[in-house]
Structure 1
Amino acid sequence: MKNNIIFVVNPISGDLDKTDLIDAVNEFSITNNFHLTVYETTGKQDIKALQLLYEEHKPDRIVVAGGDGTIKMVAEAMEQHDVIIGVLPAGSANGLSVDLNLPNTIEENLKIAFLNHYIEMDMICINGKKSIHLSDIGLNADLVKNYEESNLRGFWGYALQAYTTLVDYNEPFVATITTNKETSIHPARMIVIANSQKYGTGVTINPNGVVNDGKFELVILKSLDLLLLGKIITGNMPIDSDDIVIISTDKATITTDYPVNFQIDGEYCGAQTSLEIHILHKQMKLAVP
C-alpha cells in the first residue's frame, strides 16, 4: 500500500520561486514510493479545500512549503485529524523552522518532513485565534502593520520600518495582566505572547520557551530604547534586567489602557484593548530532526 502524502505549497510566500522545491519533492516522493497530492494555496477557502482532500486521500502526513502562516492554516484545517505535519521552510516568516532547528538544505528537510519522528506541539489561543509561534502587542505589531503597508520588502524594508516605528512611537501603554494566581500592572512598550523562543530573524526573545510544555510565556518589555533593542537583536537578551518581566502560565488575560496594535505569527490583527489567552496542549504533530 502506498503512503499518501498531501503536499501544500503557498506559491507566493517569501516571494520565492517554488519550482525547484516542487520538483525536489516530486522526485523524493517517487524515489521513496510516496503517493503525492499537491495543493497550491489561493488564500480563499484553503481550509475547506484541505479538509476535502484529507477525506479523499487520508494521508499519513501533510508536508507544507511555506512560512508560519501556511503552517498555521494547515494546523487549523487538521484540528480534528490525527496527522503529522512536515515543514519545508519557504516563507518570509519562518520563525517556527528556526525554533525547531530545521536544517538549511532541501535534501535534509525532505527527510525530516517525510520520514522523521515528530513532537506533539502546543498552540496558543488568543481571542479565539490560533498562534503557533510568537504574537505580540505593542511595538513589534506596529512594525508588522507598517511593514504590511509599505512598498519596501526584505531586510531594508524591516530596518527602515523599525527605525521609523521607534522614532514615532506613543506613550507606553499600561497593561493589567491576570494569570491563574494573581493580577499585576505593568507599563509596557511591548508584550510578547510566546510559545517558543525565537523570532524568524533568529532573535531570541523568550529564552525559557519550550513548544510542548503546556505553558506559554508573557515577555513584558517595559522600556525599549535603541540600546535594549540592539542587545535583543544581537542575541544578548538580558533576562535579569528591570526592564524585562517574564511570566510563565497556561492562561492569562491582558487589558490595556488604550487600543494597542496586535499581531499573531507575523500577521497584523488590529488594535486591541483586551486579550484572552490560553494554551492548547499538544495540539499538533510536527516532524522534527
Structure 2
Amino acid sequence: MKKNILLVVNPISGDVDKLELIDATTIFAGNQNLNLVIYNTSGTSDIENIKALYNTYLPERIIVAGGDGTIKMVAEAMETHDVVIGILPAGSANGLAVDLNLPTTTEENLEIAFLNDYMEIDMISINGKKSIHLSDLGVNAELIKNYESGSIRGKWGYALQTVSTLIDLDDPFIATITGDFPTIECEARMIVIANSQKYGTGVSINPNGVMDDGKFELVILKNMDLLVLGKIITGNMPVDNIDVEIISTNKAVVTTNIPVSFQIDGEYCGKETKLDIHILPKQMKVAVSKIK
C-alpha cells in the first residue's frame, strides 16, 4: 500500500502560478511510489480542513508550497501531531526558507522536502499568536502594511515600499521592555522579535539567531538613519552601535506609549501598545538541507 503525502498549496502566495510546481511535485511523488493528496488553501476553514485531511490520510509528511504564513498555518493545524513539514518556497519573500538555507531550484527542494532529515524548531507566542520566523513593531510592519495594499509583489515591491515608507516615516515611539533582564526604556524606530536571522529579502537582522535554542532575540533599533539602515541592508548589522541593542531571552513584555504597527511573519496585524512574548520550544519538525 502506498504511503501518503499531503501537499498544501497557497494558490495566491507570491502572486505566482503554482501549476508547474504542483506538476513537478506530483511527478516526484509518483517516482517515489507515494500517493500525493493535494489541498489548495482558500482562506476559509483551512486549518480545520488540513486537520481533517491529516486524520483521513495519515500522511508521512506534509509539503507546503507557499510562504511563511502558509507554513505557520500548517504548523498550527498539526500542533498535536508528530509530522515532518517540507517546504517548497513559493511566497513573496520566503523568510523561513532563506534562514534554513534552502536552495533555489524546485528539484533540490523536492528532494529535501520529501526525503531529508529534519530539525525541530521553536516558535514564539506573541499575544497568543504564533510566530515561526520574524515579527516586529515599527518601520518594517508599516512597510508590510503598505506592501499589502500595493499592486507590485516580490522583492521589487518590497523595495518600492521601503523607499515610500522611509519618506513618510513617523516619529519614534517610546518602548518599555521588561523580563529576566534589567528593564529597558528607550525611543525606538523598530523592535524585532526574532526566532531566526534573516528576512526573506536576505537582510540579516539578528546575526546570532538560532531556531532551536529555546530562546528568541529582541532587536531594538533606536535609530534608523541612513548609516544604520545601509549597514543592515548590506548585511553588516551594527551590533556594536549605540543605536542597536539585542536581548536574548525566553520571555518579555514590550509596551509602547502610542499604538505602533505590528506584523507577524510577514502579515500585518494592526497596531499594538503591548506585546506579551514567550518561547514555545520545539514546536515544528521541518525538513532541512543539513542539520545545523
TM-score, normalization by structure 2: 0.97
- Give the Å deviation of 1:160: 2.8
**1: CA distance between counterparts of 2:238 and 2:262?**
24
Name 1:32's counterpart in structure 2: 32
1:183 is paired with a residue of what secondary structure? strand
CA offsets, 1:134-153, max 9 Å, x none? Answer: 00000111111111122333
Conservation of the 8 A alpha-carbon contact between 2:155 and 2:201:
no
Task: Report if aligned partners of 2:92, 2:153 keep a CA contact under 8 Å in 1.
Answer: no
1:93-112 Cα shifts (integer Å, max 9, x gaps): 20000000001111111111
With the length of structure 1 as denominator, give the TM-score of the two structures.
0.98
Partner of 1:285: 285
Question: Cα deviation per residue 1:236-267 (whole Å; 9 max; x = unaligned)?
Answer: 11111111000000000000011000000110
**Closer, same or farther: CA 112–153 of 1 in aligned 2, 3 Å:** closer
- Matched with 1:92 is 92
User: 1:3-14 residue pairs with structure 2 within 5 A?
Assistant: 3-14=3-14
1:164 maps to 164
Partner Cα separation in structure 1 for residue 52 and residue 157 of structure 2 = 38
% identical equivalent positions: 68
Q: Cα offset for 1:187?
A: 1.0
What is the CA–CA distance in structure 2 between the aligned matches of 1:61 and 1:154, rounded to whole Å?
28
Q: 1:151 and 1:101 mapped to 2: Cα distance?
A: 29
Q: Which moved more, 1:65-74 or 1:229-238?
A: 229-238
Q: Which runs of 5+ in 1 are unaligned?
A: none
Which residue does 1:252 correspond to in 2? 252
Q: How does 1:194-213 map to 2 (within 5 A)?
A: 194-213=194-213
* Aligned residues between the structures: 289
**Match of 1:120, SS?**
strand
1:55 has 2:55 as partner: yes
Aligned-residue CA RMSD in angstroms? 1.0
For the pair 1:119 / 2:119, whether they are aligned, the reply is yes
Q: Which one is further off, 38-47 or 223-232? A: 223-232
3-state SS of paired residue (1:286) = strand
Displacement after TM superposition at 1:170 (Å): 1.9
Per-residue deviation, 1:171:
1.7
Amino acid at match of 1:272: E
Task: Within 5 Å, give how 1:71-150 maps onto structure 2.
Answer: 71-150=71-150
The answer to whether structure 1 residue 276 and structure 2 residue 276 are counterparts is yes
